[in-house]
Amino acid sequence: MSNHQNNNALGLGLGMLLLFGLLVSIGAATTDIYFPALPSLQAFFEVDAPAVQTTLSVFLVGLACGQILFGPLSDRYGRRQLLLGGLVLFIVGSLLAAVSPQLWVLLCARFIQAMGAAAAVVITRAMVTDCFTGQQAARIHGLLMQIMAAATIVAPVIGGWIVGAYNWQTIFFLLALFGFCCLVAAWMKTKETLPVEARAAGGLNNLLHSWGQLARNRRFLLLVLSSGFTMAAMYAVMMGSAFVYVDQFDWSASNYGLLYGGTTVCFITAAWANDLALRRYSPWRLIAWALPFQLLICAVMAVAAVVDVLTPAILAVALCILMANVAFVHGNLVAAVLEEARAVPGLGAGLLGVAQYGMSAFTPLAAQLAGGTALFSMTLSTLAFAVLALLPFAFARRSLGDAVGGVGGHSPEVQ
C-alpha cells in the first residue's frame, strides 16, 4: 500500500492528532495523576511507603510487558481492534483499582490497567509508522510528545485537587471515564492502518523470524539502547529533583510544582522548535547535535554539585535547558527506531517501550549506587545515563557512513 493510501487511512487532522497524543500519554498521565494519592493510599491500606510504591513499580512492569505483547500481535492481526481492546482493558483495570479493598487487589488492578495503557501507546506509535516516514514521522512523534508533556503538567494538578476534595478512589473512576472517552473517540474516528496483505503472516515461527531480523539489525538495537538511556536520564531528573528541592533545598511542594511545570513548558516550546527544524534537517542530524549537548549539561551539573556551587536557581536553569534539549532527542529517536523496524513496526515499538520503561526502572538503583546527598546522586546518575545514551547512538550513526546527516535526509529503511 502506498504512503498516500496510508495517510488517508490514518486521517491525521487536528482532532486525530489530539486523540493520538492522548493515547500516547495515557501511561505517563496515569502515573502522574496518581502521585498525590500515595500518602492517602498508605493510610488507607495501613502499610509503609515502600509497599505503596510497589503499585508504581507494578504499573511500569505492566507497561513494558503490554508493549512487547500487543506490538507483535498488532503486526499479525491489525491495529484498530487491538487498540480498542486495550482501552477496554484499561477501563476494567481502572474500575477494579477504584474498588480495591486490599493492596494486593490494587496491585493486580494496576497491572491490568498498565497492560491496557501499553496497548494504546505501542499501537498508536505503530499506526504513525504505518503511514509516515522520515521527517514527517519524526514531526508527528514530536507533536505527540508535546501533547504528552502537556498532559504531565495537568495530571498531577488534577490528582492533587481530587485527593483534597474527594478521595484516592475518585482518581481511578476519573481514569475509567477518560479511558471510556478515548474508546468512543477511537471507535468513531480511527481506521485500520495495516491492511491484511501487509500483516505479518504465520504464527510463532514467523514471530521468531521477525525477532531474529531485529536482533541482527545492529542500528535498531543501538538506537533502542540510546532511547532507553535517554528516557532513564529524564526519569532520573524528574524523580531526583523532587527530593533535591523539597528535602535538601527546603522548598515547599507547591513551589517545586511550579518549577516542574516550568521545565515542562520549556520542553513543549523546544518540541515546537524541533518541529520547525525537521523541515530542514534530518532527525539523525538533530539527535547528533542534541545528545552531546545533553551530556555537556549533565557534566556541568555534576561538577557543580561536587564543588558545591549548584544553587537552587542555577539548578533550575540547568533543568529547564536539559528538558528543552530532550525535546530534540526523544521524538526523533522514536522515529529513527521505528524506521529501522518498518517491516514489523508493532514489534519494534514494543521492544522500544520495554527498553524505555525497563531502563527507567533502574533510576532509583542508580541514585542509590551514586550515594551522597540527593543532589549529588541525581546529577551523577543523570550524567551516567547521558553517557550511556550518547555512545550507542554514535556507533549507530557511524554504521550509516555518509548516508546520514545531510540536510533533508532521513533514516534508511531496514536492510
Residues 6 or more apart whose CB falls under 8 angstroms from that of 399 comprise 218, 219, 222
Weakest mean pLDDT among 104-108, 194-198, 277-281: 194-198
pLDDT band at 402 (very low <50, low <70, confident <90, very high): very low
pLDDT band at 254 (very low <50, low <70, confident <90, very high): low
Residue pair 108/96 in contact (Cβ under 8 Å)? The answer is yes
Q: Is the pLDDT of residue 130 over 60?
A: yes
pLDDT band at 412 (very low <50, low <70, confident <90, very high): very low
Per-residue pLDDT tens digits for 322-355 = 999 998 998 899 888 888 887 777 788 788 888 8
Weakest mean pLDDT among 56-70, 71-85, 103-117, 270-284: 56-70
The share of the chain scoring above pLDDT 70, in percent, equals: 89
Average pLDDT, the chain: 83
pLDDT in the model for residue 3:
46
pLDDT in the model for residue 7:
45
Residue with the three cell numbers 503499585: 55
Residue pair 24/148 in contact (Cβ under 8 Å)? The answer is yes
Domains, the chain, ranges and CATH? 1-194 (1.20.1250.20), 216-401 (1.20.1250.20)
User: What would the grid cell of residue 382 be?
Assistant: 543523570
Q: Is the pLDDT of residue 293 over 70?
A: yes
Longest distance between any two alpha carbons in the chain, whole Å: 61
Weakest mean pLDDT among 25-29, 153-157, 191-195: 153-157
- Count of other CB atoms within 10 angstroms of residue 187: 12
pLDDT band at 390 (very low <50, low <70, confident <90, very high): very high
Query: What is the C-alpha separation between 6 and 66, in angstroms, rounded?
Result: 25
pLDDT band at 163 (very low <50, low <70, confident <90, very high): confident
Q: Is the pLDDT of residue 234 over 90?
A: no
Q: What are phi and psi of 342, to 5 degrees?
A: -60, -30
Residue with the three cell numbers 495501613: 46
CA dihedral 294, 298, 301, 305 (to 10 degrees): 180
Q: Is the pLDDT of residue 12 over 70?
A: no
- Among 368, 364, 353, smallest CA distance to 54 is for 364
Q: What is the mean pLDDT of residues 296-318?
A: 92
- Among 369, 378, 361, smallest CA distance to 240 is for 378
Query: What is the C-alpha separation between 62 and 100, in angstroms, rounded?
Result: 18
Q: Is the pLDDT of residue 9 over 50?
A: no
If one compares 130 and 209, the residue with the highest pLDDT of the two is 130
Encode 321-350: b = buried (16+ Cβ within 10 Å), e = exposed. bbbbbbbbbbbbbbbbbbbbbbbbbbbbbb
